[in-house]
Amino acid sequence: MDFKELHYSVDARVAVLRFQRPERMNAWTPTLETELRQALALAEQDESVRCIVLTGAGRAFCAGMDMEVLRAGGDGERSGPLAEGRRYAFMDRIDKPLVAAINGAAAGVGLCLALYCDLRFVAAGAKLTAPYARRGLAAEHGSAWLLPRLIGPMHAADLLLSGRTLLADEAERMGLARMLPAEGFLDTVLERARDIANATSPRSVRTMKRQLRKARTQTLLEATDLADQEIAACRGTEDFREGVQHFIEKRAPRFTGR
C-alpha cells in the first residue's frame, strides 16, 4: 500500500508504522489518520506480523493536531473513516500487541495514540503533554478514561487539569511509559518487540489481551473463572504443545498461533 504521510515496513514479524512528517514534527492530519487506520488494518490481517510498533520520523513522535488544519476550520472528523466515531477506540480491539516508541515530543492526539497502545517506551528527554486546558478544549479521545486507569486518578487530574508538559523521567515515575536512553532508542524498542513477536505464542497473546480488556469490568472471581476456562482451552492447542516441547529441547520456539 502506498502511503503519503506514513511509512510501513515489516521485519522479523514486527510491523513498524512510522509517522512521516518530520518537517512538521509529525503533526496530525486527516490523511495521516486515515493512513494509520489502513496500516493497522494491514498489520492486523497479515499473518506474518505478530507485533506492531508506532513511532515518529525525526525528532518527534507526534506533536498533536496540525495547527494549519485547525486554522482551516476543522480536524477532519466529518470526512471519510473519521466519521465512524470513537476515533481511536478501534485500536483497543486489535489483538496483536501494540507498542508505542515515543522517540520525541508527544502532545494531544499524539499522546492519545500512545495511551491506546499496550506498551509505551519513551526516549530520555522527550516531552509529553495533554494541553487541552490551555487550548480551551476538553480531554479528547477517551483520555479522561484511559489516564486514571494507567497512572491513577491524581496523576491523571494533574496532567489534564494543568495541561503542563512533563519529561520522560517523570512519565516513567508515573507509570505512563518506560524510559530508555535516547541513543539507540528505536533499536532497543524493536529488540523488545521482536522478542514478543518471536518468543511468545500468538494465541496466548491474543487471549491475554482479551482477558485484560474484560478485566476492566470484571470482579476478581469473574476474572478467575475466565482464566480457568482459557487455561483449559489452551491444553489441546499446538502452541501449548510447542511451548512445552521447545522448553524441554532447549531451542527457539516455533509457535503457529493455533
pLDDT at residue 2, as a whole number: 87
Task: Give the span between the Cα atoms of 205 and 193, in whole angstroms.
Answer: 13
Task: Give the span between the Cα atoms of 35 and 128, in whole angstroms.
Answer: 23
Which H helix or E strand runs over 71?
helix 67-71
For 5-15, write each residue's pLDDT tens digit.
Answer: 999 999 999 99
Task: Give the span between the Cα atoms of 111 and 131, in whole angstroms.
Answer: 10
**pTM, entire model:** 0.91
Task: Look up residue 75 and give its three cell numbers.
Answer: 480536524
Please provide the distance, in angstroms rounded to a whole number, between the alpha carbons at the two ends of the chain. 28
How far is CA 54 from each of CA 133, 160, 214, rounded to the nearest angstrom? 26, 23, 24
230: confidence class by pLDDT, cuts 50, 70, 90? very high
Report helix angle 238-249 to 202-215, nearest 10. 120
pLDDT at residue 80, as a whole number: 45
Question: Has residue 138 got a pLDDT over 50?
Answer: yes
How far is CA 183 from each of CA 14, 95, 104, 186, 188, rounded to the nearest angstrom? 21, 31, 12, 8, 9
DSSP state of 76: S
Task: Give the span between the Cα atoms of 189 and 108, in whole angstroms.
Answer: 23
> Which string of b and e fits 227-238 if b means at least 16 CB within 10 Å?
eeeeeeeeeebe
The rounded percent of the chain whose pLDDT value lies above 70 is 93
32: confidence class by pLDDT, cuts 50, 70, 90? very high
pLDDT at residue 87, as a whole number: 84
Question: Has residue 127 got a pLDDT over 70?
Answer: yes
Task: Look up residue 217 and give its three cell numbers.
Answer: 469490568
Which H helix or E strand runs over 127?
strand 127-129
**What is the CB neighbour count within 10 angstroms for residue 96?**
21
**What is the CB neighbour count within 10 angstroms for residue 73?**
6
pLDDT at residue 29, as a whole number: 95
For 185-222, write each residue's pLDDT tens digit.
Answer: 999 999 999 999 999 999 999 999 999 999 999 999 99
Report the chain's mean pLDDT, rounded to a whole number: 93
For 145-177, write each residue's pLDDT tens digit.
Answer: 999 999 999 999 999 999 999 999 999 999 999
Let me know: does 243 contact 203? Beta carbons within 8 Å: no
Task: Give the span between the Cα atoms of 57 and 25, in whole angstroms.
Answer: 8
For 64-116, write each residue's pLDDT tens digit.
Answer: 988 777 666 655 544 444 444 478 999 999 999 999 999 999 999 999 999 99
How far is CA 225 from each of CA 215, 217, 228, rounded to the nearest angstrom? 11, 14, 5
Task: Give the span between the Cα atoms of 156 and 43, in whole angstroms.
Answer: 31
For 239-254, write each residue's pLDDT tens digit.
Answer: 999 999 999 999 999 9
pLDDT at residue 253, as a whole number: 94
Let me know: does 60 contact 26? Beta carbons within 8 Å: yes
Which amino acid is residue 204, in one-letter code? S
Task: Give the span between the Cα atoms of 118 and 51, in whole angstroms.
Answer: 11
